[in-house]
Chains A and B, each alone.
Chain A
Amino acid sequence: MSTMAFLKRSPWILHYDASSCNGCDIEVLACLTPLYDVERFGIINTGNPKHADILLITGGINTQNREVVRNLYEQMPEPKVVVAIGACAATGGIFRECYNITGGVDRVIPVDVYVPGCAARPEQIIDGVVTALGILEEKRAKMAGAARMKDEVRHAEQAGEST
């Protein structure tokens, strides 16, 4: 199975810079431009968290950014996947000892995929997004399963009441 076979739908990504150095951010943007061009897979960068399936987040998150990140995460509809890009998003990286840095995105919101590198290369970022797609599909299946189970229970209850 090719990796891109996951791509049943067109996933939209939201990118947010949570106190990074910008290096990984411009590489995220580079993924969208002609050399790498992820749009050919239907991956579109959106500015609106309510439209997004995948959150690409860079940086170690400072005190002021915590609320913004949490807010963005909560606004995204389920199922959603978070990809932490770069060493500083994973652990705080080179900024770990800074007084204002929380140290890692996973201290604030749950993270599904970690992309290594300082700066992460566009190929690695695309790889991270492809991994995220697999997780997204799993989450969707799980949600669909849970919904089906709920329905069945409700039907069974209704059937029990009517007899």
Chain B
Amino acid sequence: MPERIIVPFGPQHPVLPEPIHVDLVLEDELVVEAIPSIGYIHRGLEQLVQKREFTEYVYVAERICGICSFMHAVGYCQGIEHIMGIEVPDRAKYLRTIWSECSRLHSHLLWLGLFADSMGFENLFMRSWQLRESVLDVLEDTTGGRVIQGTCKVGGVRRDIGQEKLDEMLRALDPFEEQCRDLGDVFLNDETVKYRLQGLGVIGKDEAYALGAVGPTARASGVPSDIRETGYAAYGDLGFKPVVETAGDCYARCAVRVKEVYASIDLIRRTIDGMPEGPLDVKVKGTPDGEYFSRVEQPRGEVIHYLRGDGTKHLARARIRTPTLANIPMLVKMLPGAQLADVPVVVLSIDPCISCTER
């Protein structure tokens, strides 16, 4: 029997922009067990609700994670609005949808780049990030911030996008979509990419469901779960269908995200077309008293904000369950059987976001 050795992976590792630590138990080149340990980014943000007023906490919620920051703000605000019985104006809901989908676009393009990098496909990495910059330009133009937007607030949104800008975005979407399709074509059809990804880290539908996977990681295994289907913000009006693949390997997880890029572009187009007129926010009076589970679909999957208020300016409790935490059990099951050289690809295939996970 080959000797077992333990290789530490992380916390500081070239393919990981963030620190996570995994102990890999190897037999020769083959991984037989993976033991993750987290805690390098834990800051204690949930407890901060007791120090920040509930309207201010939006800024903290945005900084739970810098990649899906806008969606965290949406999740938090929707929770508070539900507790307080605030009806958000339609235009605000549509604007939230546009910014959410822009965030998803930039997050998926970011991930596609990092994923290409983990395969050693350097110019694909650069190309993905180059395309991502055009999304960031739109975000910066409309919100003032590239990665942290700060436009979502309890009761609505803080900024409007003028009709002129909306038309400009609409015009820019066609060439952008074409470029994305060219990029996606490489991820989906290139022989070397397929060779690296197909059959790697396979998880079947039932197992994925049992492990509680969420987001693209679950959808790649055939579990059609997407919180956008519940119709929060403007998704209810847009008629939304999740992207599902069935193979459950790294290639399928990549394919889901590539197709979601196309889907997001389409969603933005339809949101702009259906943009209603009206006010941007309503006045927030009183304090939250009650509790609510707010669910939002982030690029990585479903995030849950549990909020409980006791009628004071400070919430009594917040609990945030983020998608990566739900997907780590999948990762632990995917790694055994992989070659050591494939570990970075498999780890990235769940799109780990550690600062979300640890809050």
Contact = CB atoms under 8 A, between A and B. Distances in A.
Interface of A: 15-27, 29-30, 33-35, 46-49, 59-60, 62, 64-65, 68, 72, 94-95, 97-101, 118-119, 121
Interface stretch (B14-22, B92-100, B225-233, B295-303): B14-22
Interface in B1-58: 11-15, 17-19, 39-45, 47-48, 51
A18 B355 CA distance: 10
Interface of B: 11-15, 17-19, 39-45, 47-48, 51, 59-60, 63-67, 69, 110, 113, 125-127, 129-130, 132-133, 136, 145-148, 353-356
22 contacts: A17-B18, A17-B354, A19-B355, A20-B355, A21-B64, A21-B69, A22-B17, A22-B65, A29-B17, A33-B113, A33-B126, A35-B129, A35-B133, A47-B13, A47-B14, A62-B42, A65-B40, A65-B41, A94-B59, A119-B146, A119-B148, A121-B146
Nearest to B130: A34
A60 B11 contact: no
A62 B148 contact: no
A48 to B, nearest CB: 8
A98 B45 contact: yes
Nearest 5 pairs between A and B by C-beta? A23-B66, A47-B14, A33-B129, A22-B66, A21-B63
B101 to A, nearest CB: 18
Contact of B66 (A25, A33, A65): A25
B40 to A, nearest CB: 5
B147 A119 contact: yes
Q: Which of B42, B127, B356 has the most CB of A within 10 A?
A: B42
B133 A30 contact: yes
A68 B64 contact: no
Contacts of A26: 17, 66-67, 110, 147
A19 B40 contact: yes
A103 to B, nearest CB: 11
Contacts of A20: 41, 66, 355
Contacts of B60: 94
A100 B145 contact: no
Given A19-B42, A27-B146, 7 more contacts: A21-B148, A25-B66, A46-B14, A64-B40, A98-B44, A98-B48, A100-B42
Contacts of B132: 33
Nearest to B65: A22
Contact of A35 (B66, B130, B355, B356): B130
A23 B148 contact: yes
Contacts of B12: 16, 47, 49, 68, 72
A64 B146 CA distance: 30
Contacts of B69: 21, 23
Contacts of B44: 98-101
A120 to B, nearest CB: 10
Q: Which of A16, A20, A33, A48 has the most CB of B within 10 A?
A: A33
A47 B11 CA distance: 11
B42 A64 contact: yes
A100 B66 contact: no
A93 to B, nearest CB: 8
Nearest to A24: B66
B147 A23 contact: yes
A64 B39 contact: yes
Given A35-B130, A60-B43, A68-B11, A17 B17 contact: yes
Contact of A62 (B41, B59, B145): B41
Nearest to A92: B43
Contacts of A98: 43-45, 47-48
B234 to A, nearest CB: 26
Contacts of B133: 30, 33-35
Contact of A25 (B18, B47, B51): B18
B18 A22 contact: yes
